[in-house]
Chains A and B, each alone.
Chain A
Amino acid sequence: MLRAIAEPNRRRILELVSSRELSAGEIASRFDVTRPAISQHLTVLKQAGLVAERREGTRRIYSAHTEGLIELRGFLDQFWADALDRLKVAAEQTEKGRNR
């Protein structure tokens, strides 16, 4: 379930367009992966209805509806999983520091 947002680059794209509209080029410029790869991610997100696309001349502009997305149980599940992983790293660093 929720494979469309499970992929890390797609999650990052959603985060990027959650607060403001961005063109496909602006989105691609923030990633190391190829422009076609970004286009493919955008297509999946668009098909799933998670981002909206509009055209401005030859540019395609994207935006997300994350107020709704963030309600998803899947979002929180992933958020807490990532957070606990960060807690593990930080706490283990502190523990090592104490034992030194």
Chain B
Amino acid sequence: MTPTETSSIAREVRIGARPETIFPFLTDPDLFGRWGGAATLEPEPGGIFRMDVDGAHIARGEYVMVDPPHRVVFTWGWEAEDTLVPPGSSTVEITLTPDGEDTIVRLVHRELPSKESADSHASGWEHYLERLEIVGAGGDPGPDPWAQRATADAG
């Protein structure tokens, strides 16, 4: 198992606004807060990128490239200890491409742990992924051996 096995997420959205209108939403903390979450942003290479993802989990990184109004690149990871995705380990690139009066916004989140590398992590989330797939397909995954271990005394 090498630690270099990674995967990426790519998302695209068409927005009825010009790149010049959209770009500040990627670099201004107040505007960023309207879509990504409360943030501390220093939009220059090496500057802080820190966002509150869901009120409980903080992501942190650094801006790598700030090229208004076309492209922003920052590193990204969880601030928590013992995480599969520590700060600096993954990269988010957002590109703005004008298309008529609209802009195509493309977000690519790279160097995330692959399922294979996650499998080797102590938290063993692959275990739950498999169970989720069974339940999602309407099946019964049977008793969870890990949960059984935890609730054996209560039974």
Interface positions of A (Cβ within 8 A of B) = 1-6, 15, 18-19, 44, 46-50, 52-55, 66-73, 76-77, 79-81, 83-92, 94-95, 98
With a CB–CB cut-off of 8 A, which chain A residues contact B133?
1-2
Main secondary structure of the interface of A (DSSP, over half): helix
Q: Name B107-132 residues within 8 Å CB distance of A.
A: 107, 109, 112-113, 115, 118, 121, 123, 125, 127-129, 131-132
- For the complex, give the distance between the alpha carbons of A73 and B136 in Å: 17
Query: What is the CA–CA distance of A85 and B82 in the complex, to the nearest angstrom?
Result: 31
Given contacts A19-B56, A54-B151, contact A47 B141 (CB under 8 A): yes
Contact A47 B135 (CB under 8 A): yes
Task: Report whether B83 and A71 are in contact in the complex, using a CB–CB cutoff of 8 Å.
Answer: yes
- Minimal Cβ-Cβ distance residue in A for B123: A68
| Bound complex: CA A70 to CA B79 (Å) | 12
When the two chains form their complex, are residues A91 and B25 in contact, meaning their CB atoms are under 8 A apart? yes
Contact residues in A for B11 (Cβ distance below 8 Å): 77, 80-81, 84
Report yes or no: B132 in contact with A3, Cβ–Cβ below 8 A: yes
B side interface size, CB within 8 A: 55
Q: Chain B contacts of A68 at CB under 8 A?
A: 123, 125, 128
Contact at A3–B7, with CB atoms within 8 Å? no
| Residues of the B chain whose Cβ atoms lie less than 8 Å from the Cβ of A2 | 129, 132-133, 136
Chain A residues with Cβ under 8 A from B36's Cβ?
83, 86-87
Write out the residue numbers on chain B whose beta carbons fall within 8 Å of the beta carbon of A49.
127-128, 131-132, 141, 144, 146-147
Name B8's closest neighbour in chain A (CB-CB). Answer: A73
Cα distance A92–B9 in the bound complex, in angstroms: 24
Asked if residues B9 and A67 are in contact (CB atoms below 8 Å), the reply is no
User: Distance in Å from the Cβ of B78 to the closest Cβ of chain A?
Assistant: 7
Compute how far the CA of A70 lies from the CA of B86 in the bound complex, rounded to whole angstroms. 12
B2 within 8 A of A: no
Between-chain CB contacts (< 8 Å), 27 pairs:
A1-B132, A3-B135, A4-B136, A15-B55, A46-B147, A47-B135, A48-B136, A67-B82, A69-B125, A71-B83, A71-B84, A71-B85, A72-B129, A73-B112, A77-B9, A79-B54, A80-B107, A80-B109, A84-B13, A85-B13, A87-B35, A87-B36, A91-B21, A91-B22, A92-B16, A92-B17, A95-B17
